[in-house]
Amino acid sequence: MSEKDNRKQLVVIGAGSGGYAAAFTAADIGMQVTLIDAESSLGGVCLHRGCIPTKALLHVAKVITDAAEAKNWGVEFTGPNIDVDKIRAWKNNVVKRLTLGLQQLAAARKIEFIEGEASFADSSTLEVKTKAGSTEEISFQNAILATGAHPAALPNIPADSPLVMDSAKALEVEDIPNTGSGKRVDRLPVVPADPEAPT
Ligand SMILES: Cc1cc2nc3c(=O)[nH]c(=O)nc-3n(C[C@H](O)[C@H](O)[C@H](O)COP(=O)(O)OP(=O)(O)OC[C@H]3O[C@@H](n4cnc5c(N)ncnc54)[C@H](O)[C@@H]3O)c2cc1C
C-alpha cells in the first residue's frame, strides 16, 4: 500500500492578479490549492495600491473635469469643495469591497489561504514566516511563483525625501500638494520606472 502524500498539490506564492487568477483556474480544474501572500488579503498591487484605487481617484478627477467643462454647454457649477480624507476613505472602501469579493471567490473554491512570507528551503519545501514570527514548513508537489514587482528607486534621489512619492504614497496623500507658499500645485512631474517608457 502506498503512503499518503501529505504534500500540498499546488502552492501559489503571491495573491495578486497573477496569483489569484492562477489559483482560481487550478481549483476550477480540480486541484487542491494553497495560496500564500505576505499581505493579509488577496489582490496584490492591482487591488490595494494600483489599478483599482487609481481608477477610483481618476473617477473623482473626471467628475470634477466634466463639471467644469459643462460650463461650455450652459451648465455652470461653483468650484468643488474637496475633502481629501473623505475621498481617501471612499477609495479605501472600494478596495475593501473588492477584497472581500475575492476572498469569497477563493472560499467558494476551497482554496486555502496562508498569510506569510514564503521562501524555498529546497525544491519541494517552502518556509513560510508568519507575521507573528513563527515559521511553518510546507511541502508541495507543484508551485507557481507570482510574486510581482516593486517600485524602482530613482538614482541619487533619497526615497524618504518629502518631495518624492512613489505610486503607493501618492494614493495616501493627506492633502493636495502645494508649492510651499500655500498655492496648490496643478502639475506634477511623473517619472516612469522604465526609462524607455514615455512620460
Ligand atoms: C499605480 C498603479 C496603477 C496600475 N494600474 C493598472 C491598470 O489600470 N491596469 C493594469 O492592467 N495594470 C495596472 N497596474 C499594474 C498591476 O497592478 C500589475 O500588473 C499587477 O498588480 C501585477 O500582478 P502580479 O500578481 O504579477 O503581482 P502583484 O500584484 O505585485 O502581487 C504579488 C503579490 O506577491 C506577494 N509576495 C511577494 N513576495 C512574496 C513572498 N516571498 N511570500 C509571499 N507573498 C509574496 C506580494 O505581497 C503581492 O501581494 C498598475 C500598477 C500600479 C503600481
- Residue having the nearest C-alpha atom to atom 44 of ligand 1: 37
Say what the pLDDT of residue 199 is: 47
Say what the pLDDT of residue 49 is: 94
Could you tell me the distance, in angstroms and rounded to a whole number, from the CA of residue 176 to the centre of ligand 1? 26
Please work out whether the CB of residue 18 comes within 6 Å of at least one atom of ligand 1. yes
Please work out whether the CB of residue 53 comes within 6 Å of at least one atom of ligand 1. no
Could you tell me the pLDDT band of residue 169, with boundaries at 50, 70 and 90?
confident
Contact of 54 with 171, CB cutoff 8 Å: yes
- Residue having the nearest C-alpha atom to atom 33 of ligand 1: 14
| CA 69 – CA 181 distance, rounded (Å) | 28
Say what the pLDDT of residue 65 is: 94
Please work out whether the CB of residue 50 comes within 6 Å of at least one atom of ligand 1. yes
- Residue having the nearest C-alpha atom to atom 30 of ligand 1: 148
Please work out whether the CB of residue 23 comes within 6 Å of at least one atom of ligand 1. no
From 39, 51, 54, give the residue whose CB has the most ligand 1 atoms within 8 Å, as the site to mutate.
Answer: 51
Summarised one tens digit per residue, pLDDT across range 31-82 is 999 999 999 999 999 999 999 999 999 999 999 999 999 999 999 999 899 9
Q: Which set of grid coordinates corresponds to residue 127?
A: 518556509
Could you tell me the pLDDT band of residue 191, with boundaries at 50, 70 and 90?
low
Contact of 23 with 35, CB cutoff 8 Å: yes
Please work out whether the CB of residue 148 comes within 6 Å of at least one atom of ligand 1. yes
| CA 163 – CA 153 distance, rounded (Å) | 14
* 14 Cα nearest atom in ligand 1: 34
Point out the least confidently predicted range of 62-71, 125-134, 142-151, 183-192.
183-192
Residue whose C-alpha cell is 519541494: 124
Q: Considering the chain, what is the average pLDDT of its residues?
A: 89
| CA 141 – CA 123 distance, rounded (Å) | 9
CB atoms within 10 A of CB 42: 25
For domain 3-149, the CATH superfamily is FAD/NAD(P)-binding domain (3.50.50.60)
Could you tell me the pLDDT band of residue 3, with boundaries at 50, 70 and 90?
low
